[in-house]
Amino acid sequence: MIGVIPKPGQMDVVEEFFQLFKTPWEFHRPGGVYSAVIATCGDVSNVSAKLLVLYGAEVKSIDARVGIVRGGPPQTDCLSGCDTLVPIYGEACTFTGAGNGRSCVMAGTEVVGVKAIASGSTIIRLGYDLFEEVGLLLSKAQPLEHAAVPTLDTHIDMLRRWILDEGIRLVEIPPVPSGYSFTTCLTHDIDFIGIRSHKFDHTMFGFLYRSTVGAVRNFLQGKTTVRRLLQIWRAALSLPLVYLGWARDFWEPFEWYLKVERGLAATYFLIPFKRQAGDLVPGPHASRRATSYDVTDLRDWVAVLQKQGFELGVHGIDAWHSAEKGRAELTRVVEVSGQVATGVRMHWLLQDSRTIGALEEAGFDYDSTAGYNETVGYRNGTAQVFRPLGARTLLELPMHIQDGALFFPGRLDLSDVLAEKLCQPLIDNAIRSGGVLTLLWHDRSHGPERFWGDFYVRLLNRLKSLNPWFGSAGQVVAWFRKRREVRFERMETPEGLRARLRYEGGEVNPPLCVRIYGPACGSSNGAIADCVDIPWNGQSLEELELQIPAHFSSTLANPALS
């Protein structure tokens, strides 16, 4: 059991952090005995634990006793001491003296973390505030230069490693279903359902420009083959026939995706009202946000998609700033889809400080707007579904890889080879830390003039080879919601304080994984030598207890429901 002593005002952040790092914990009780204590408060003089991890840039009561001397702020905002650089967004300090301790976290050449021994306990003293960092990550976007860093997930990895390095037993429910390496969520924002409805507007003229001048540019830069260039020109020449109905509309999205994603789950976010650009839209081209279709034009396709098991969501227009308009948008899509629980992703990814409250008040089950238009990566520093600060029930499904960010001129504008190199670290992070890797591929991306479909197929094949669980947005959020419902309760036994699992929800499918680390799992290089994973669908805690090997039996004490 971990004891936590936060500063005043940090309790909500602590609770959300330990929904992401799903392990037994409680707010520290005076006189309590804990294997590890995590603290950001100033006075820890009365804390007794095998391991004390103490965060904060201000002077702490224990510093003088340990011989730690506080210095000024670090010259760089990135930490090292783990497998990757970790940006720090809040207040931080360096240490110019470490007593008998040694450095364990650096910021360039400066010491930001010290590990020392005092009175038989290990003390890790960090010059930044973990819960301040988590609060900033959950409420604000990481800057583009740090988008590729799963900062919050790395903070969890670092803390886990420090605990295991001390030989402390640890129970965790990792953010990945049992039997899978990670989760993949395929999503599509439907902005167009064809080019036939766009005559002599900016959409048509933009297509013709990109099919001629833009296509030649891409060819000269080595981004398009001769074969692909000829296909683009052929599509442009066929445009009059498409308008007359004599040729297939090459922007129609659904048939291609149904074929490519056969047997996989996916979510389509549909526009609720046509010809509405929305209010308060920033930028000089706000009128272009309006679409020529809405969900009522897709009744036949809605039936086909649902029959194939795909999920439908709302591609919101004004829900990002208005609960009233959000309710109207939700109602419009639900009237056609018949779904009870429905999520949203805002058109153009519009969001501000009002968005979470407006979406929750409107009645959405989840949001999936947390991503970048300009690049790929972790807007909030995590691959996990999380509850945004201030929300009560709304959960956020982060979006990580977007086609437009990868390939669109004016954004990253990458070749396929460079796009693969940029996506691979996100896949590696998902394998290492779990969570969900969310992809966004737009409606017309597979066809001319973009032809980004070949890359998408290769990316899907790469992912399928790595044994992920493919879930729709709603399925993934529901799985994480059930994981959040599992609680570790405090239980006093003659042997000491133990954690007790408690869950009162329905069956979890795919099952959760209960991971039990042995008493000597950590090592200096961060490898985990001894742990066991037990699948659990939430239905029988007694059966779960029977599966725990004998040498782990004291980790969970009688985890039966009472």
CATH of the domain at 389: 3.20.20.370
pLDDT value for 178: 96
Low-confidence ranges of the chain (pLDDT < 50): 521-529, 550-551, 553-562
Q: What is the pLDDT of residue 185?
A: 98
Q: Do strands 531-536 and 512-517 pair parallel, antiparallel, or not at all (unpaired)?
A: antiparallel
Q: What is the pLDDT of residue 523?
A: 46
The answer on 464 and 390 residing in a single domain is yes
Classify residue 178: in a domain, yes or no: no
pLDDT of residue 550: 46
Q: Do the Cβ atoms of 266 and 252 come closer than 8 Å?
A: no
CA–CA distance, 51 with 121 (Å, rounded to integer): 6
Q: Does the residue 541 lie in any domain? A: yes
Amino acid letter at 207?
F
* C-alpha–C-alpha distance, residues 489 and 1, integer Å: 9
CA atoms within 13 A on the CB side of 138: 26
255 and 214 share one domain: no
- On whether both 311 and 428 belong to a single domain, the answer is yes
Q: Could you tell me if residue 558 is inside a domain? A: no
- The answer to whether residue 168 sits within a structural domain is yes
304 and 411 together in one domain: yes
In a domain, 37, yes or no: yes
Closest by CA to 490, choosing from 19, 7, 29, 12, is 29
Residue 312 sits in the same domain as residue 240: no
List of residues 6+ apart from 356 with CB closer than 8 A: 367, 388, 390, 391, 394, 396
In a domain, 560, yes or no: no
Does the pTM of the predicted model rise above 0.75? yes
241 with 281, same domain? no
561 occurs within a structural domain = no
Residue 562 confidence (pLDDT): 26
Query: Is 557 part of any domain?
Result: no
Say which DSSP state 475 is in: H
Q: How many domains would you assign to the chain? A: 4
Domain span including residue 207: 195-250
My answer on whether 103 and 135 are in the same domain is yes
Looking at the structure, tell me whether residues 115 and 159 fall in a common domain. yes
Sign of CA dihedral 398, 404, 407, 412: negative
- Identify whether residues 144 and 256 lie together within a single domain: no
Question: Do 111 and 8 share a domain, yes or no?
Answer: yes
**Claim to verify: residue 255 and residue 336 sit in the same structural domain:** yes
